[in-house]
Amino acid sequence: MAWDEWEQIKVDVTDRQPVAMRLNQVPVEPGPGPSAVTGGLKSSKKAWATAGEGVGSLRQSIGTALTKLEDGQAGLGATTDCLSAAAQKDVYESWKKYAQGVSERCGSLQRILEQVGRDQLTTDEAVKGEMDKLNLKYADTDAVGGQAKGR
């Protein structure tokens, strides 16, 4: 490198203004382009509310399905003398319980989505925490036959 180039670099460095503190590599002043924090991602209250409504509409469909399922059980009668009727009743009870759990899960998810839309300042960690709680509360049961051990 030529001596005069080196001298010019030193002059440029000494003429710089003091650098402002940056946390987590976020620029101090937003530029004309997309935000370095969001990368241009935009969020709207309406989008979150629409997502919540969509999940809420699943609850209505599940409720309709449960009503039809219950109506189908109307003429079953006593199941003590008929093994297939007893098995059918057990399947009905199992599916009814499962569908009710899915409906409750949809309601909880709807509440979270709508809350995020209202409270646009909710942190990602808070939303993840709510979703983790939901996943714990409504964890699926193990497959029939249990889990494979050591395979």
Task: Please tell me the predicted confidence (pLDDT) of residue 13.
Answer: 67
Question: Whose CA is closest to 112, among 46, 41, 55, 63?
Answer: 55
CB atoms within 10 A of CB 105: 18
Task: Please tell me the predicted confidence (pLDDT) of residue 23.
Answer: 52
Task: Tell me the CA distances in angstroms from 18 to 6, 15, 24, one per residue in order.
Answer: 21, 9, 18
Task: Please tell me the predicted confidence (pLDDT) of residue 75.
Answer: 74
Q: What is the number of residues in the chain?
A: 151
Q: How far is it between the farthest Cα atoms of the chain?
A: 104
3-state secondary structure of 149: coil
Task: Please tell me the predicted confidence (pLDDT) of residue 140.
Answer: 73
Task: Please tell me the predicted confidence (pLDDT) of residue 69.
Answer: 86
Question: Whose CA is closest to 123, among 36, 37, 47, 34?
Answer: 37
Task: Please tell me the predicted confidence (pLDDT) of residue 72.
Answer: 82
Q: Is residue 103 a contact partner of residue 62, using CB atoms and an 8 Å limit?
A: yes
Per-residue pLDDT of the chain (151 residues; tens, 9 = 90+): 566 777 777 777 666 655 555 555 555 555 566 555 556 666 778 888 888 899 999 998 999 999 988 888 877 767 677 787 788 888 888 888 989 988 999 999 999 888 887 776 567 778 888 888 888 888 776 666 555 555 5
CA angle 134/135/140 to nearest 5° reads: 130
Question: Whose CA is closest to 113, among 39, 53, 30?
Answer: 53
